[in-house]
Amino acid sequence: MWTWFYRLASPPFIYRRSAKLTPWFMTVAAICIVYGIVDGLAFAPPDYQQGDAFRIIYVHVPAAWMSLFCYTTLAVAGAIGLIWRIKMAYAAAAATAPIGASMTLLALVTGSLWGRPMWGTYWAWDPRLTSELILLFLYVGVMSLRSAFEDPARGDRAAALLSIVGVVNVPIIHYSVVWWNSLHQGATVAKIGKPSIASSMLWPLLAMFVGFMCFYAAVLCMRLRGEVLSRERQSAWVREAIK
Amino acid sequence: MSAGGFWAMGHYGAYVWPCYGLALAVLGWNVWSARRHHERARVRAQRALAMLDTNS
């Protein structure tokens, strides 16, 4: 296991393995997302309270889940970089941040579009919405901080520190609907016991979860290749790799 | 469900379709941006290696 871990620290290994994995992840992502969209839009029955507006969850919930997952990955990668001084962990964090930020924006906008017909407003300073907005600011902060330093190594360390400090917001977002009175509905799928959603509505949602995860993995691989090349452009192996 | 009913989404079409459109735009932007990031890094690496060759 440790051999595998150490190989992950090798830039040429990451660069070549990413190229091989990208099409596999992208294919699974495309299949799952197409199935999820078609089943979610055309075949899942309308909700008895929300009608067809509930179909927004098939993009909103996976995007919101990815926004939390990407930020946690950012913090874990930052911690690995700071503790073990593995440069590839910083590269993974740098590659993850824009993906996570775009997912957070998608979650906020789709949530807002769902809120208008359901709550009668596009936005409310509700704990869930506010903490998710703070997450977007954290992503922007981490990306800005990384690029604010002339020395990339210092930028990486500063961004890692901010991402580790900011990870406290992840459980706050998740439990905000439990800890405070919130307009936002509680957990539907990730409940202890049985999910409170019919299986005909659940399958497309699960497909979208898998699709978004694989999509993240595919784009991470693509972005990692760029990050590795940027960071290692004067290394001998790069000459062979970019022929 | 008729085609008209499908597009209307039970009078919620104005909210549902922009969400899916935005989702596809975000996914597309991620792929485009990652490709551009890699391509730019590749060009920079080629330049860096060419400079090394010139200096040596």
Give the SS3 label for residue A243: coil
Tell me what ipTM this predicted complex has: 0.91
The model's pTM is 0.92
Contact A183, A124 (CB under 8 A): yes
Between CA A214 and CA A202 the distance in angstroms is 18
The ranges of chain B with pLDDT < 50 are none
Contact B48 A113 (CB under 8 A): no
Contact A103, A67 (CB under 8 A): yes
Between CA B12 and CA B28 the distance in angstroms is 25
Average pLDDT of the segment spanning A218-232: 94
Contact A59 B49 (CB under 8 A): no
Nearest CA among A170, A225, A191, A187 for reference residue A18: A225
Interface residue A10 vs chain B (CB under 8 A): no
pLDDT digits (tens, 9 = 90+) for A32-66: 999 999 999 999 888 888 888 999 999 999 999 99
Flag whether pLDDT at A191 surpasses 60.
Answer: no
**How many of the other CB atoms lie within 10 Å of CB of B29?**
12
Give contacts of B 3-22 with A, CB under 8 A.
6, 9-13, 15-16, 18-20, 22
| A233 confidence band (pLDDT: 50, 70, 90) | confident
**CB-side neighbour CA atoms (13 Å) of A27:** 5
pLDDT digits (tens, 9 = 90+) for A57-74: 999 999 999 999 999 999
Contact A230 B41 (CB under 8 A): yes
Among the partner-chain residues B19, B34, B46, the one whose CB lies closest to the CB of A56 is: B19
Average pLDDT of the segment spanning A161-180: 91
